[in-house]
Amino acid sequence: MSPPAIVKSSTAKGEETRAQILAAAVEQASAWGFESLTIGTLAEKAGMSKSGLFAHFGSRLELQIAAVDEAARQFQELVFLPAMKAPRGLKRLDAIFENWIGWPRKANLPGGCPLDAANKEYAHRGGPMRDAVLERHRMLSRELGKAVQMAIDSGELAADTDPGDIAFGMFAIVLACFHTESFIGTEPAQSRARKAFDTLIRNHAAARG
Amino acid sequence: MSPPAIVKSSTAKGEETRAQILAAAVEQASAWGFESLTIGTLAEKAGMSKSGLFAHFGSRLELQIAAVDEAARQFQELVFLPAMKAPRGLKRLDAIFENWIGWPRKANLPGGCPLDAANKEYAHRGGPMRDAVLERHRMLSRELGKAVQMAIDSGELAADTDPGDIAFGMFAIVLACFHTESFIGTEPAQSRARKAFDTLIRNHAAARG
DNA sequence: GACAGGAACGAACGGTCGTACTATTCTGCG
DNA sequence: CGCAGAATAGTACGACCGTTCGTTCCTGTC
């Protein structure tokens, strides 16, 4: 009696190693792409056997999809979530941008943004991976759109601003930041990105009273 | 005697098939990445045996590098070269931008810009491929910088314009255009990109008489 | 102590990879 | 024609791929 009730030991021992595997998977995918996620190399990285790792996912595809999910979760956790502490409007948009351009470093992903990598890899082909990537991307895109709309509603951005233009502009600047980091270094790339973002916002700012 | 001098038959029959192989390679790389360039699949695509194709390059790495070169050559041919017919300054910058966002389609590369793909794949790793990609990228970057500088020298862009800002902005917009094409379609993506480019230029335009 | 179930293991499979050899066919020049 | 050399094909190899299978270890319950 005395029913164990909850238990289930929040870390079921298997869940724990699964989480470790996925962390390693995202790290590798950020640098080498999701197509590089092979059972063998990942097993070696996680310090376990191929079959042992394999049992956690059932197939390579499931592993890749799980890695995409994990990457999106980390993005949400490191970019959007902390920005919620900032007040709605431009302040929050600023926070999102700043977290965005810095999140690969914060997540210890020296290979760059894994979602960006996934998009590049699968956007132009069919299959379940493309579906998974697009779904996650649309979700995050919607969240960004809401944040922009708030800045319009608050009167900080001009009322006739097209929210899509701002989202497109932010997306563009962040992409260019990630891409130029490898050429000119993190610091100069982020500096240029911030300057471009400032210009973008100033361009659409509501006229001051 | 009578030294054969030149000869070498401009198309040495081998050169011709080599060119066909590289065309197929660039096409495949644009959609599946340069890491997907395997001897076997490429041989099948070119309608010849693995060993026959292999003999043209000597190693897979050489093949990949040759594909990067070919992609850069096509870029030069379809983006910069036609823009040279436009007069120096904003007109030429406009032409470059327009050719840029449309060149994958023009080159029959439904998978997107292969140089973008190569950059994403190799920017964060070492090795000869990274070197090759970065070199080509820097070359094209320098060419873009010169075109921007001409627009400043001609007085169409403000004298205090930072050429790097314009180049960064154009790069950003084109990247976002390529990335959003897969979500919202080619037409809307290019439309947004053109709008953003107009804003960028207008922002740095020299004050009118 | 017996037992059940999850977690990880090692070995093996069919297949594809890049690459090295040899053999065959094609092509142009005397 | 004949023949040299380039171009392509054939074959074989070791390594790695994803996956399957049977086994072992660990943990918690009767």
**pLDDT, tens digit, 9 for 90 and up, residues A137-172:** 999 999 999 999 999 999 999 999 999 999 999 999
Handedness of CA B49, B52, B56, B58 (dihedral sign): positive
Interval A95-154: pLDDT, tens: 999 999 999 999 999 899 999 999 999 999 889 999 999 999 999 999 999 999 999 999
Interval A17-57: pLDDT, tens: 899 999 999 999 999 999 999 999 999 899 999 999 999 99
**Is B121 touching A (CB cutoff 8 A)?**
yes
Cα–Cα distances in angstroms (integers) from residue B160 to residues A192, B12, B89, in the given order: 16, 53, 16
Query: Which residues, 6+ apart, have CB-to-CB distance to B84 below 8 Å?
Result: B92
How high is the pLDDT of residue A15? 84
How high is the pLDDT of residue A11? 61
**Is A171 touching B (CB cutoff 8 A)?**
yes
Residue of A nearest to B204 (CA): A199
Handedness of CA B90, B92, B98, B100 (dihedral sign): negative
Query: Which residues, 6+ apart, have CB-to-CB distance to B185 below 8 Å?
Result: none
Vertex B128: Cα angle to A23 and B75 (nearest 5):
100
Residue of A nearest to B29 (CA): A121
Residues of A in contact with B203 (CB under 8 A): 199, 203
How high is the pLDDT of residue B16? 85
Helix, strand, coil proportions of chain B in percent (round to 5)? 75, 0, 25
Residue of B nearest to A130 (CA): B182
Residues of A in contact with B172 (CB under 8 A): 172-173, 175-176, 196
What tokens appear for A183 in the block? 């050429």
Residues of A in contact with B175 (CB under 8 A): 172, 175-176, 179
A112/B124 CB distance under 8 A: yes
Candidates B179, B183, B195, partner chain A, best to mutate (most A CBs within 10 A): B179
Position A71 confidence tier, pLDDT thresholds 50, 70, 90: very high
B31/A176 CB distance under 8 A: no
Percent of chain A whose predicted confidence (pLDDT) is above 70: 94
Residue with tokens 């001409």: B150
Q: Can you list the pairs that B81-85 forms with residues at least 24 positions away whose Cβ atoms lie under 8 Å? A: B83/B147
CA distance B2 to A29: 60
CB hemisphere CA count around A158 (13 angstroms): 13
Which bases of chain D are contacted by protein, using any atom under 7 A from a CB?
6-12, 16-22, 29
pTM: 0.91
Residues of A in contact with B38 (CB under 8 A): none
Interval B36-79: pLDDT, tens: 999 999 998 888 889 899 999 999 999 999 999 999 999 999 99
Closest alpha carbon to B171 in B143, B191, B152, B150: B143
CA distance A74 to A66: 12
A121/B196 CB distance under 8 A: no
- CB within 7 A of nucleic chain D: A 4, 37-41, 50-51, 54, 58-61; B 12-15, 17, 48-53, 55-56
Which bases of chain C are contacted by protein, using any atom under 7 A from a CB?
6-12, 16-22, 27-29
Answer for the pair B111, B27: CB distance below 8 angstroms, yes or no: yes
Query: Which residues, 6+ apart, have CB-to-CB distance to A206 below 8 Å?
Result: A155, A156, A157, A158, A159
Task: Answer whether residue A192 shows pLDDT above 80.
Answer: yes
CA distance A86 to A78: 14
Answer for the pair B133, B118: CB distance below 8 angstroms, yes or no: yes
DSSP conformational letter for A48: S
The total number of residues shown for chain A amounts to 209
What tokens appear for B198 in the block? 């107009």
